[in-house]
Amino acid sequence: MAKSSSNISGGIGFTGLLAIVFIVLKLTKVIAWSWWWVLSPLWIPILIVFLLVLIYGIIKLFE
């Protein structure tokens, strides 16, 4: 019987860890940032991907 080896990456990742750090700093009143900026490590990568897909779609539309 053959063994299959798969490397499944798990964990929180850099942006998740950064978001947790910012949330802890906000809740302990070390930083006085808006919640928009505290949670920005979560939404900025999503926004970048969305913009890249949008740009790709526009380029493909005019080809």
- Residue ranges of the domains in the chain? 14-61
SS3 content of the chain, % helix, strand, coil (to 5): 65, 0, 35
pLDDT at 36: 95
pLDDT at 17: 95
Considering only CA atoms, which of 63, 57, 23 is closest in space to residue 40? 23
| Calpha distance 30→20 (Å, rounded) | 14
pLDDT in tens, 7-43: 666 778 999 999 999 999 999 999 999 999 999 999 9
- Name the amino acid, one letter, at 62: F
